[in-house]
Structure 1
Amino acid sequence: MMAMEEEEEKKRRWKRFSCRNSVSDSPSPINGLDDGCLMHIFSFLSPIPDRYNAALVCDRWRYLACHPRLWLRVDRSIKDFSEPGVFPNIETAISAARPGDTILIAAGGNHLASNIQIKKPLCLIGGGELPDDTILICSRGSDSAFEFLSTCKVANLTVKAELGCCLLHRRGRLTIEGCLLQCDENPLDYLSCPIVSTASSSDVLPTSGEKCRGDGVSVSRTRIEGGSKAVLTSGTLALQRVRVIYARTALFFWFDVEHL
């Protein structure tokens, strides 16, 4: 009798052990989805940090999270640019981008950005942990690094202008988040300005998604250095909801530029 009970107990233990192993060895439910479904889920994640962190999970997630359908990449370290969605410089990436695309600019080294016009809604994001990791240089003789003629977002980037402005806003809604805008100090410092907006009510061309908000510039968690003025505006624009933190080496800004 005792032998039969011991045998039954062994069977129960083996059954529990087998069940645990089958559960642990089985793939995660989300990994059971096909690539198209999983990529659609990734499209709802914010590019930084959520989609970026998803790319660190495994090889499959990295491939899907970095797929050109979700964002384009600017990476000069890659030798073979036949891979779709990868470009050697920012200008070619912007030319190839579709409205609504996100462009991830690789960290490390300096990227040239001079008088690049953006006429479609895009998001430009630095690929480093800090804005100082991804540096865009606007050379002397250029009016600006970027000229925005559509609703766009710039995040986690350092933009340096030798003379002129870092970002030139013409129309649309421009969002600047977690960036460093720097005008080099020189005898012509009065000609430099980190942000210039020339939008006015006469040339407003808002996108369908921005009709209720109109044109303007929103800046948050952004450090501004150099230039005689932090922001230069014309037309009917005015600074609103301004918050500034003054430090010994920098000014940190939160503000909106809106129509009166």
Structure 2
Amino acid sequence: MAKRKGWVAPSNSPINSLDDGCLMHIFSFLSPIPDRYNTALVCHRWCFLACHPRLWLRVERPIKGVAEPGVFLNLEAAISAARPGDTILIAAGGNHVACNIQIKKPLCLIGGGELPDETVLTCSRGSDSALEFLSTCKIANLTIRAELGCCLLHRSGRLTIEGCVLQCEENPLDYLSFPIVSTATAYPSLKKGQQDEHGLTVARTRIEGGAKAVSTNGTLALQHVRAIYSRTSIFFWFEVGVVVDK
């Protein structure tokens, strides 16, 4: 991670006289994004401490089979324990089940692999969605598979989907299978250039199967669509939000 341009804590600064354990304890009180992220840009030492695994919630199976602070065996337990603004790192490999998990607080979910295909959340048949969002959240570097239904259900807040893979049935019933469903309702009372509190942003995301990439059942509309086609899937960039008159 690059150094932050501008202010750098001098080596003789009083805060740098603290040992690593004390500094890490201070950093633990910061919200991961943006405060702890910005802290990590100050210098190499702060980057190491602010990004230390002990400061992030993780979904993985402990190597020694012993419970570790901040480590959870499943995503639902990690989301339940998280504070608003926390980041949850989901370990690559293994089988992560996600069925109708509601997220009612601002969180960031990140796959722990180098590629999104290495961290897979599976939504079993009979569930409406893998993840249901009722708050402003971000997901990144994840593969989400829905056997029937939708991968992501956006109810409210601003949802950002970046560098993910969303997989649905290849030949679905039109009304049952969508990678993304948004039912958010907003009112076009904004001036040009303002951003509504409800919306959806998709970037560098591969979508496979489904009746269509996104279904909007509320008052939000699809905007700014860009796509790159391949043999088996399409990479998408688009927005779902309120259409503001010029």
User: Is TM (by shorter chain) over 0.5?
Assistant: yes
Higher normalized helix content (fraction of residues)? 1
Q: What amino acid is aligned across from residue 125 of structure 1 in structure 2?
A: I
Contact in 2 for aligned 1:138/1:144 (Cα 8 Å): yes
Among 198, 204, 220, the residue aligned to 1:215: 198
The 5-angstrom pairing of residues 1-260 of structure 1 reads 33-34=18-19, 35-37=21-23, 40=27, 44=35, 46=37, 61=48, 65-67=52-54, 70-186=55-171, 188=173, 191-201=176-186, 212-260=195-243
Q: What amino acid is aligned across from residue 169 of structure 2 in structure 1?
A: D
Q: Any idea what SS the aligned residue of 2:215 has?
A: strand
What whole-Å deviation, never above 9, does each CA across 1:184-213 have from its counterpart, x for those lacking one?
A: 3245365210000000127xxxxxxxx953
**What is the TM-score of this pair, normalised by structure 1?**
0.74
Q: What amino acid is aligned across from residue 118 of structure 1 in structure 2?
A: I
Query: Which segments of 5 or more consecutive residues in structure 1 lack a partner in the other structure?
Result: 1-27, 203-210
How many angstroms apart in 1 are the aligned matches of 2:128 and 2:50? 38
Provide the residue aligned with 1:3 in structure 2: none
What whole-Å deviation, never above 9, does each CA across 1:124-158 have from its counterpart, x for those lacking one?
A: 00000000000000000000000000000000000
How many angstroms apart in 2 are the aligned matches of 1:214 and 1:229? 25
Q: Any idea what SS the aligned residue of 1:166 has?
A: strand
**What is the TM-score of this pair, normalised by structure 2?**
0.78
How many angstroms apart in 2 are the aligned matches of 1:63 and 1:236? 40
Q: Any idea what SS the aligned residue of 1:201 has?
A: coil
- TM-superposed CA distance for 1:248, in Å, is 1.3
How many angstroms apart in 1 are the aligned matches of 2:114 and 2:51? 21
Q: What amino acid is aligned across from residue 219 of structure 2 in structure 1?
A: T
Cα–Cα, structure 1 residues 220 and 46, in superposed 2: closer, same or farther, change >3 Å?
farther
Q: What amino acid is aligned across from residue 191 of structure 1 in structure 2?
A: L
Contact in 2 for aligned 1:110/1:137 (Cα 8 Å): yes
Q: Any idea what SS the aligned residue of 1:76 has?
A: coil
How many angstroms apart in 2 are the aligned matches of 1:228 and 1:121? 29
Contact in 2 for aligned 1:242/1:256 (Cα 8 Å): yes
Point out the structure with max Rg over C-alpha: 1
- TM-superposed CA distance for 1:256, in Å, is 0.7
- TM-superposed CA distance for 1:76, in Å, is 2.3
How many angstroms apart in 2 are the aligned matches of 1:62 and 1:107? 22
Deviating beyond 4 angstroms after TM superposition, the runs of 4 or more aligned structure 1 residues are: 28-33, 41-47, 61-64
How many angstroms apart in 1 are the aligned matches of 2:172 and 2:199? 31
What whole-Å deviation, never above 9, does each CA across 1:154-195 have from its counterpart, x for those lacking one?
A: 000000000000000000000000000000324536521000
How many angstroms apart in 2 are the aligned matches of 1:146 and 1:161? 10
How many angstroms apart in 2 are the aligned matches of 1:46 and 1:184? 37
How many angstroms apart in 1 are the aligned matches of 2:128 and 2:219? 22
Aligned residues: 215
Cα–Cα, structure 1 residues 64 and 190, in superposed 2: closer, same or farther, change >3 Å?
closer
Contact in 2 for aligned 1:81/1:88 (Cα 8 Å): no
Report percent identity of matched pairs.
67
- Superposed CA RMSD: 2.9
Q: Any idea what SS the aligned residue of 2:152 has?
A: strand
- TM-superposed CA distance for 1:120, in Å, is 0.3
- TM-superposed CA distance for 1:33, in Å, is 4.3
